[in-house]
Structure 1
Amino acid sequence: MEVSADAAAAAAARTLRWAGRAGHLRGVPRAAVIGAVGTIAKAYVSLLNTTTVHNADALHRLVSSRPPGTPLLTVSNHMSTIDDPFMWGFKGFPITDSKLARWVLTAEDICFRNVFMSYMFRLGKCVPITRGAGIYQDHMNEALEVLSTGSWVCTFSSALTIPSLTYVVLMFINSGPYLIEFRHAIFKQLHSFPEGKVAQDHQPIRRLKWGTASLIVRAPVTPIVLPIVHTGFEKVMPEKSFFGRRPPLPLCGKDIQIIVGEPVDFDLAGLKQVAAMIPQDTSFERKGWPTITPEGLDEAAQRWLYQKMSDKIQSAMESLRKTLLNSKQH
C-alpha cells in the first residue's frame, strides 16, 4: 500500500527522524545514550549475572569487519523485555560504540508517544513501526534505508521489541509517568524478534512474522542473516515475579546462555524465479502490495517467498535452541 508524501512527512515529523541521524549535534547525544545504556547492560550481563556465549567470534567478525556496504540482519528469539540491549552486554562486545551499535525496530505506539520519548529512542537508533500497518508501511521503508547503508539491523522473532536500552538509562533518572513505558522498547543495527511477542515458556521457536523476510528480499544489497538464540533473560526480567508483575529492576545471579549461529544461506535468485511461477491465488484477502520488480513478483508470489524464507530462518533458530538446550543438560 502506497503512503502519500504528506503522510510520510507527518510521520517523520511526529517521530523526530532527524534525531536519529548520525550527524545530529555531531553525534554527542547518541554516543551519550548508547554509552550509558551499554555500560549498564554490560554490568548486568558480565558482572552481576553469569553469561556464556557460544560462537561469539562469528558475531564479532560480522559486526566489526564484514565487507564494506554489506548489511547485517540479526534475528533472535524474544524471552524478555530486556533482551535488547542486554544480549549485547557480554564481555568483549563493543556495546558502547555508537557507530557499531545496531538499529532495531520498535513499537511506535509505545516508544514514540511523545516528543521526549521519540527523541530518546531515536538517539538509541530505534526505527518506529506501526503495528498492524503491514510490511509496506513508510517506517519499513526507513528500515530498508538503514540496510541500504550497510548497517547492522537487529530483529527479533517477535517482530517488535520495546527498547529497554534507553529504558535502562531513564529508569535511573526519571520517576515520572513515562517510566513504565520504557520497559517495552528497542535498540539497533537492525535486529528483530520475528515471533511476535515475548515467550518465556521455552517452547519451540514459533512461526515467524514476514517483516524480516520482506526486508531481506527488498533490500538493495542482500544482507547477511545471522540467527541468535538465548535463554536466561526470562529469569533476569521475569514477566510475573514482583506482585504478579515484572520486577522494578533486572535481577542478578542468574545464568544466561547465548548461542550465535552461522549465516543463513538463501538462494534468493532461485527462490524469486520459483515464486514468479506461482499461479494466481485468490483465496486470501489482498493487501494491495506493490509488485516487486524486475522479477514481477505479485502479492501471491511474495507471500510464498516470504513464507519459505521465514521457515528457513525459523528452522535455523530451532536448531540453535536445541543445541543450547543440550549444552545445558551436559
Structure 2
Amino acid sequence: MAPATATLVALTCKAYINSGLASIKVSGLQTLVKALHDEQRNQGHGVVTVSNHISTLDDPMTWAVLPWRYFQNPRLTRWTLGASEIMFTNPFLSEFFSHGQVLETFRGMGIFQPSVNTSIEKLNQGEWIHLYGEGKVNQPAKYELDASGRASLPRFKWGVGHMITSASNIPTVIPMWISGFDKLMPEGRRAPFKYFPRPGAQLTVTFGDPIAPEALLKTIQNIPEADPVRIRTHVTTLVHDAVESLGRSVSGNTLGNAVPKDPLE
C-alpha cells in the first residue's frame, strides 16, 4: 500500500502546482537522483537528505519535484520521522502516514526511541531517510539573529548526528534548502484559514552537493576517545552548517523573509 499512498499524495501535490495555484523551482535535483540510483545502496550505504522546516506542507509538497514514477517504488521514496501528537492521533491517520513511509516519533523521548532505531536500520539497508533537522516548523520570521545581525537557522536535534554516525556505513548526506513554503502555509493563522494553502506561493527546492564522506569521517575520528555524545554533536553541527550555508547562498544571506499577514484574516 505504501506506493499507492505515496503516489496519491504526490499526484495531488503535482496537480496543485500544475493548476497554477503555486509555482515551484528546483535546483540540483540530479544530485538526489544520482544518489538514489547509486549501486552502493545495494551494499548498505543509505541516503540522508536534511533540510530546513518552514511549514506543515514541506513534506510532501517538496517531493512534487520528483517524477511521479518514483512514488511507485518504495526504494525511491523517502522515509521520514513524524510527530506522534500531530500525525498519529487516530487510527485513520496512523494507517495513512505509516503507509506513506512515516515513522511515528515521540517528542521528548530523545534519540533512543524506536523511530530513530528503525531509521538506522533503514540506512543499513541502503534506504533513503529525509530529516527536518530542527524537529519542528520554524518560519523565517522567527529566526534569531547571530552576533553579526544575520538570521541564523535554529539548531538541529542531536538525532541527526546519531543516525548518521550509527549507520554501519557513512551514508550519502545531501543538504537541502526550501523556501516559499512559509508563504504557502503561514503559521499563526486563525481557523478556517490555517487549514488551507494560500494560492500564489513561489516555492523553491535546492539540493546542495553531498557532504564529503571524508569530512564526516574526519569529524568522527578527531573526537578523543570516540566520545559518542561529542561525535553526534559535532556531526549534527557539521550538517546544520551545510544546510545553513546552502540557504545563505540561495537566499542572498537572508535565510528568507518575514511572513506577510494574510489579507483574508
How many Å separate the matches in 1 of 2:69 and 2:54? 22
**CA-atom RMSD, angstroms?**
2.4
CA drift of 1:104 comes to 0.5
Distance between the aligned counterparts of 2:158 and 2:209, measured in 1? 21
Question: Offset at 1:269?
Answer: 4.1
Q: 1:83 corresponds to which residue?
A: 58
Please point out which of 239, 248, 256 is paired with 2:203.
Answer: 256
Matched, 1:321 2:241: no
* CA separation of 1:246 and 1:94: change in aligned 2, threshold 3 A: farther
Q: How far, CA to CA, are the matches of 1:158 and 1:66 in structure 2?
A: 30
Of 138, 147, 166, the match for 1:218: 166
Number of residue equivalences: 242
Shift of 1:266: 4.0
Using CA pairs under 8 Å that are at least 6 residues apart, name the structure with larger relative contact order, 1 or 2.
2
Distance 1:251 1:94 in 2: 28
- Asked if 1:247 is matched to 2:187, the reply is no
Bigger Rg over Cα: 1
Task: Please tell me the residue identity of whatever aligns with 2:239.
Answer: I
Gaps of 5+ in 2: 144-150, 257-265
Structure 1 match to 2:234: 308
Q: Shift of residue 51 of structure 1? A: 1.3
- Describe how 1:251-290 pairs up with structure 2 within 5 A: 251-267=198-214, 268-277=216-225
Query: Given that residues 56 and 137 in structure 2 are in contact (C-alpha distance below 8 angstroms), is that contact kept between their aligned partners in structure 1?
Result: no
Conserved? CA contact 1:53–1:258, under 8 Å: yes
Preserved contact between residue 79 and residue 128 of structure 2 (Cα < 8 Å): yes
State the distance in 1 between where 2:15 and 2:38 align. Answer: 25
1:154 partner SS: strand
Q: Tell me the TM-score normalised to structure 2 length.
A: 0.82
CA distance in 2, matches of 1:125, 1:58: 22
Distance 1:139 1:233 in 2: 26
Cα pair distance change 1:259/1:121, threshold 3 Å? same
8 Å Cα contact 2:28-2:207 kept in structure 1: yes
SS of the residue 1:158 aligns to: coil
Distance of 1:93 and 1:275 partners within structure 2: 43
Question: Which sections of structure 1, spanning at least 5 residues, go unmatched?
Answer: 1-28, 160-195, 278-296
CA contact (8 A) 1:103 1:126 kept: yes
TM norm structure 1: 0.67
Percent identity over paired residues: 27
Quote the residue 1:59 is aligned against: 32
Is 1:97–2:72 an aligned residue pair?
A: yes
The verdict on how the C-alpha distance between 1:272 and 1:200 changes in structure 2, with shifts beyond 3 A counting, is closer
Letter in 2 for 1:214: H
Q: CA deviation at 1:95?
A: 5.2
